[in-house]
Amino acid sequence: MKLDDIINKSCVIGLSYFDGDDQLLKQSMLAGNVTATDEENGITVALITKDTTDSPPVFILPASLAPWFKAPEGTYRDENSNVLIENPVYLVTWDIHRTQENKEEGDHEWWNWVPRTTPPTVG
């Protein structure tokens, strides 16, 4: 699979955030359609939201295809926003680790994105 192969494809994105001690901080799920890919700038996903009046927000993932897997058929629901997506083409999962614990107010936070390369389980 190449980056261009996922353009215009739907996906569900699972994100797990960890602190510097590898303790889970939060998990989130997003759903959308890939609108652009670039080796340097990453994979742009137009997110599906309940608000249909504005342009959809975008989320940019790293350019790695290692965590992209064919999704089992079904309906996926983001419990936070209650967005539903029917039969997405791909499931994508990333672990995101905070790389610094102590930062001054206003300083930039650094995170390390680690692809989950084992196919996710659904159910």
Q: Is the dihedral of CA 6, 112, 30, 103 positive or negative?
A: negative
Measured CA to CA, the distance from residue 9 to residue 105 in angstroms comes to 39
Residue 120 lies in a domain: no
Report the pLDDT averaged over residues 70-88.
85
Number of domains in the chain: 1
Residue 104 lies in a domain: yes
Domain extent for 64: 3-115
Tell me the pLDDT tens digit for each residue of 8-65.
Answer: 999 999 999 998 888 999 999 999 999 999 999 999 999 988 776 678 889 999 999 9
pTM for this structure?
0.86
